[in-house]
A and B are shown apart, each in its own frame.
Chain A
Amino acid sequence: GAVVSQHPSWVICKSGTSVKIECRSLDFQATTMFWYRQFPKQSLMLMATSNEGSKATYEQGVEKDKFLINHASLTLSTLTVTSAHPEDSSFYICSARAWGTSGSPYNEQFFGPGTRLTVL
Chain B
Amino acid sequence: SQQGEEDPQALSIQEGENATMNCSYKTSINNLQWYRQNSGRGLVHLILIRSNEREKHSGRLRVTLDTSKKSSSLLITASRAADTASYFCAAVPRAGGTSYGKLTFGQGTILTVHP
To the question of whether A and B form a pair in one complex, the answer is no
Chain B interface (Cβ within 8 Å of chain A)?
none
Chain A interface (Cβ within 8 Å of chain B)?
none
